[in-house]
Structure 1
Amino acid sequence: MKKSHYFLISGVLIILLVMGLIVLLPAKSTPSSQKKSSSEVASIMKEQEEVKPKNHFGTNNNQHKQALLQFIQNKMTSEHGIVTNYIDTNQTEETATGHEILSESAGLMLRYLALSGQKKDFNHEWDLTLKTVDDGTQFSYRYSPKLAKRSDVNASVDDLRILRSLKEAASKFHDTDYEKDFEKYANRFTKTSIKKNELYDFYDSKIKVNNDFITLCYIDLKTISLLPDNQTKLLENQLTILENGYLGDGFPFYKTRFNYSKEAYQDSDEINVIESLLAILHLSEVGLQKQASIDYLKEQVNDGTLSNRYDSQGKPIDLNQSPASYGIAAMIASEVGDEEFYLTAINKMETYQVTDGASPLNGGYGDTVTNQVYSFNNLIALLAYQY
């Protein structure tokens, strides 16, 4: 089976599409709909101490998982950390390519290592993260080893993932040093990426401004609830934005982003499946998922028809599929306690894995024609086994 039609996506691409939109911060605004009740937020805050996934349907003995881990360790890891692509480049493109290091990759790997109980490897990855993407103000979303250069902007969704990993490490390893690191870097994050109880996609540490919107898949409700200094109002605002972005029971995915200054959702004519799946995952982690979303997603997974992109009415406009989509679907299934759904999603994901012992991509998820392999697909797949 050829692996030549992958949807190779990275969360940082969202940033790159909007780099020209950085503006001074607008006045605080929220969607026109009534804010969610304080009881929903109180429920989230009450359960915040339990940081690990609700269930653990995955297994470390899975042969697919072991082959994937070996591929990542042997083919996607440099002295600087997890590389963005198997094939290196000159690292001068507008989008991250080659053996550049992403905060996205660091966060995913850190979460995997914490949840799988690998303290020594976690410490090593954490040290690399601080050396490569920490710019002293925030975690740069991108570092180029060839150019010895960090981007001036972060990606708040990736920062939150890194912060979550520290909480998970503190819980798994019973080590308060990780709690101290969490407090340090979480306090820093709240000073740059959160303004007036609103979370922003990114902050430019050079010109010291944020963008003026939030992409809905960035709203990691669980990690927001863990931030210091009681983030109840922030959580209430972001929950309102996320839930009011629901497209409807006919197509139970989510709009793309909310513009604070315009008080309106935007860029939702086409729905990126990864973005909507992450939104559903973040809701399911706090028990606020829509049942229509779960039913629809389960049907798509069972039929193997989880397309990359849809129009706003739910018509597929890109029939290619991504292993990461099925990996995130598996995480959602675990969070809602449906083991059969979880196993089906994992099995669908594994059909995209390269299983040719003669291929340099053996064990990984990538295009065997071009040898293009992106870290996001592989790390999401690896993390899915810890759910």
Structure 2
Amino acid sequence: MKTATATSICNEESTNEQPVSENNDIENEGGDNSNAPIESTKNAVSTEDANTDVSVNASSKGIDNNGFSKESKPQIGIDESQKDSNRYSNDKVSEVSSLNINNENTYYSDINTIEQDYSINASEQVNLNSVSDWMPDVKLQSAVYDSLHDLGQATNDHGGYITTAVDQITQEMMTDLRYFSASNKDITDLTGLQFATGLISADFSGNVITESLPDFTVFQNLVDIDLGEVPSIVSNETLPNGLSQLKHVTVTTGSMNYGLLNAQLTTSIILNTDFLNATMIKDDNIYSGKIYVPLASVYQGYLQSDGTYAYGANLNVVLNDAPAGLSYDSVNRRFVLDLILLGNQSLNFNFEIQDYESGIVMYTGHDSFEIAQFPVSIIPSINNDVDQTIIDQLITLNQYGKTLDLNSQIENLQNYIETQLPDETGVLFESYQDAQDKQTEITETSGLYLLALALDGNSQKFDKYYQAVKARFYNATVNGFSWSYNATTGILESGSASIDDLRIIQAMLILNEKDNNTERISEVNNLISGFIGLSLNSDYLMTDGSDFSGHQESQIRLDYIDLSVLQYIYELKGLNTNALQEQLSIIENGYLGDDFPWYKTFYDYNTGLYSLNEVEGTLNITDSLLVMLNLAKVGKLQTASLNWLKDNTKNETIYNNYYPDGTPVEKNTAASTYAYVAQIASVINDEALYTDAVNVLKNMLDNDATSPLFGSTAYDGQSAAFNDLNVLVAFLS
């Protein structure tokens, strides 16, 4: 999960006086190639320079406050900042297909409701008294006020959205609350909550409720509630009226007696060498790579009359934000940890226990435990020999660039990259402008440069640059790369981008085929283990990445799925090969059809739905070209797609953005577009198509030998590393 900025130079169809489209790719690998206005903030607030046609979509592939990346998340018209704060509504997001919103749930009210004419005055309020008269806790008042202004937590049927002060809250407005998030607010008294009769869930975790609780029978729609700490509740008999009938109830008490439980949950489990060796399953002297933690080691059950403990007839254990490799086996009542997926890392995870007997809640609680870092010596090592044909698919490039004598173009482009883009440590900035302003460095740029160096077979430059990249971006705790670094602030973003990590792995594998090096082999094995833990879900399917705290996207961008590299990883690590076929099917089912042989942008694992990019109703050329390249490497490129590329490359009519019927949104293009066509041509051994694409690229290069941008894909004093590096890869292909 990341934000990647990539500037695309946009060319008008029939003139060399091209406007620049500079694309910071939130939703697209390498950029939304449209002429979108410059976006320079996290929330993609756009500004436009009236003096240029430069456009940058700068919110690109970034992790938001909820641990989700903007890269693979279509805009769905809700307040994303509240999505994680409301722990009970995360699974209720309305379905999105092609960004047509099916807004069936009341808590995502139409944003247009805020335009309704509400007049807040005392004569129209249900209760003329001050809010403090019926809701004495000022912290609760403040939380209610905030929720009424969040259409993800409340409807706007009674004008709460447009209140400007807490004292304007009425009892009637309270009925609009649906998903109330009030954790860690120092609330002690819930008086007044009884007027929120439309409440569906509420989160008071982190608060200590010392005053009396409301009668919960008034909440006819209430399903889930976390009351935080309530010292007065010590058993089922002391539960407030109506609380025991809810689906989920979470409460913490000082004595841990709630639900008649006297056992404490274990908060730390240290798995040492003896424990691992004793619990790992051994078959024919081969460890399975899995360890098991019995539920009984953290929860013994609820107290019986004879002093023993027992589980209820219905016992549920729910893992919260579990990383790939961690699951709960309900049949055998144990936690399962897959060391192949988890790798050499420390692990902390949260879980909830819900214990029922005859429909009565006997115990509900939540806790977490930490597993110490596994010693490397006891992690199972699966070093299967990878079939040579799989290795060949990683490097099936015919290097037509040598045939066409592109040496001067390659030399000039390499010189520009090496002299104009690096910082003082050697790491490349993401654009010429960023290099001038000392701004952003991203793993997308570095991965592409490593790929170019690997194709060129330059081991010395490769190894030196990789060490600089590792020093800049690598997070040893999670065994993965952070996707972005701000050279001005010194801030390294917390989160990975799976496509960038996979590209770095691919580059290292390609170079190892040219120059086998034991240190590099050890390094790539370590990177693969990290990639598995961060970017593959529990079914071994690729996700957009991780925010380093266990959050993974449910969506995947189709262009991220590089089947050739994934196939290598699956065979090397002995993983589920069905996952490879499933991901191929995901790509193929996203095909738009022979009339317009492109691909949809996103697939959601949870819903099984596809959607387009963040610009409603349009597709970006970079997404589909990268999908075609990935398919070509495994022999699955559609004939219709190839024919479309041939016709439109020869005519120079490939544009940045299209409507699903094949109509271009505008007639701008980018150097990276034809660079991808050249790479596809090299993979499928089509020299004619390669030549056509390269001829277009040669005309996009800066030929002014007096300019610092000489040799690059610059226009109007700007150039993006994404364009430059993809062209370099194409010339070396």
Superposition TM-score tier, normalisation by shorter sequence: 0.7 to 0.9
2:681/2:690 contact within 8 Å kept: yes
* Aligned equivalent of 1:375: 721
Q: Report the CA distance shift for 1:70/1:90 in structure 2 as closer, same or farther (over 3 A).
A: closer
Question: Aligned partners of 1:378, 1:117: CA distance in 2, in Å?
Answer: 19
Partner of 2:582: 237
Deviations 1:185-224 (A, max 9, x none): 101110111012221112101x320111000000001110
Mapped to 2, the partners of 1:310 and 1:336 lie a distance apart of 25
CA contact (8 A) 2:399 2:732 kept: yes
Q: In the alignment, what sits opposite 2:494?
A: 152
- Could you say which structure has the larger radius of gyration? 2
CA distance in 2, matches of 1:75, 1:2: 24
What is aligned with 2:667?
319
Confirm or deny that 1:131 pairs with 2:477: no
Counterparts of 2:485 and 2:456, CA distance in 1 = 26
Q: Which residue of 1 is the match for residue 540 of structure 2? A: 197
Cα separation, 1, equivalents of 2:321 and 2:555: 10
Partner deviation per Cα, 1:318-342 (whole Å, 9 max, x = no partner): 2110000000000001111110110
Q: Which has the higher helix share?
A: 1
Contact preservation (8 Å) 1:156, 1:218:
yes
Alignment map for 1:1-387 (pairs within 5 Å): 1-6=16-21, 8=23, 10=25, 11=29, 15-16=61-62, 17-18=70-71, 20=80, 47-50=389-392, 51-59=394-402, 61-80=406-425, 81-88=427-434, 99-136=439-476, 137=478, 138-195=480-537, 196-205=539-548, 207-227=549-569, 228-231=572-575, 232-267=577-612, 269-368=617-716, 371-387=717-733
Determine helix, strand or coil for the equivalent of 1:203: coil
- The answer to whether the Cα contact below 8 Å between 1:273 and 1:325 also exists between their aligned partners in 2 is yes
Secondary structure of the equivalent of 1:258? Answer: strand
Paired letter, 1:258 = Y
Once structures 1 and 2 are overlaid, which stretch shifts more, 6-15 or 175-184?
6-15
- Work out whether residues 535 and 552 of structure 2, in 8 Å CA contact, stay in contact via their aligned partners in 1: yes
Structure 1 Cα separation of the partners of residues 705 and 18 of structure 2: 14
Deviation at 1:106, TM superposition (A): 1.0
What per-residue deviation string (whole Å, max 9, x for no partner) do you get for residues 159-209 of structure 1? Answer: 10000011011111122322221111101110111012221112101x320
CA distance in 2 between partners of 1:373 and 1:382 (Å): 14
Asked if structure 2 preserves the Cα contact closer than 8 Å seen for 1:7 and 1:321, the reply is: no
Deviation at 1:286, TM superposition (A): 0.8
SS in 2 for 1:79: coil
Residues 25 and 307 from structure 1, CA distance in 2 versus in 1: closer, same or farther, beyond 3 angstroms? farther
Q: Which moved more, 1:8-17 or 1:267-276?
A: 8-17
Retained in 1: the 8 A contact 2:423–2:435?
A: no
Would you say the 8 A contact 2:657–2:665 is kept in 1? Answer: yes
User: Are the structure 2 counterparts of residues 87 and 375 from structure 1 closer, same or farther at C-alpha, using a change threshold of 3 Å?
Assistant: same
Shift of 1:8: 3.9
Give secondary structure in 2 for the equivalent of 1:333.
helix
**Distance of 1:373 and 1:275 partners within structure 2:** 20
Higher RCO structure (Cα 8 Å, ≥6 apart): 1
1:7·1:322 contact (CA, 8 Å) conserved in 2? no
Amino acid at match of 2:445: S
Distance 1:351 1:337, change over 3 A: same
Return 5+ residue gaps in structure 2 as ranges: 1-15, 32-59, 63-69, 74-79, 85-89, 91-319, 325-385
SS of residue in 2 equivalent to 1:143: strand
The whole-number CA distance in structure 2 between the counterparts of 1:355 and 1:189 is: 40
Q: Quick check: which one's strand share is greater?
A: 2
Q: Normalising by the residue count of structure 1, what TM-score does the alignment of the two structures yield?
A: 0.87
**Alpha carbons 1:101, 1:132 under 8 Å: kept:** no
Could you tell me whether the CA contact under 8 Å between 1:45 and 1:225 is conserved in 2? no
CA distance in 2, matches of 1:120, 1:295: 40
Corresponding residue number in structure 2 for 1:95: none
TM superposition shift of 1:46: 6.7
Write the letter of the residue equivalent to 2:20.
H
User: In the superposition, relative to structure 1, how do residues 244 and 46 fare at CA in structure 2: closer, same or farther (>3 Å)?
Assistant: farther
Local SS of the residue matching 2:665? strand
Paired residue secondary structure (2:412): helix
Q: 1:323 to 1:209 in 2, by over 3 A?
A: same
Give the match's secondary structure for 1:316. Answer: coil
Contact 1:114 1:169 in 2 (8 A): yes
SS of 2:619's equivalent in the other structure is strand
TM-score by length of 2: 0.47
SS of the residue 1:87 aligns to: helix
Distance 2:396 2:618 in 1: 30
Q: Does the 8 Å CA contact 1:219/1:238 hold for their aligned counterparts?
A: yes
Equivalent-residue separation in structure 2 for 1:242 and 1:61 (angstroms): 34
Shift of 1:99: 3.7
Match of 1:40 in 2: none
The Cα shift of 1:366 comes to: 2.1
1:55–1:270 CA distance, 2 compared to 1 (3 A) = same
Task: Name the Cα RMSD after superposition.
Answer: 2.4
**CA offsets per residue over residues 291-320 of structure 1, 9 Å max, x none?**
110010111100001100001111100211
The alignment partner of 1:106 has SS state of helix
Question: SS at 1:78's partner residue?
Answer: coil
Identity among equivalent pairs (%): 27
1:90 Cα deviation from its structure 2 partner: 10
Structure 2 counterpart of 1:308, one-letter code: N
SS of equivalent to 1:363? coil
Q: CA deviation at 1:61?
A: 4.7
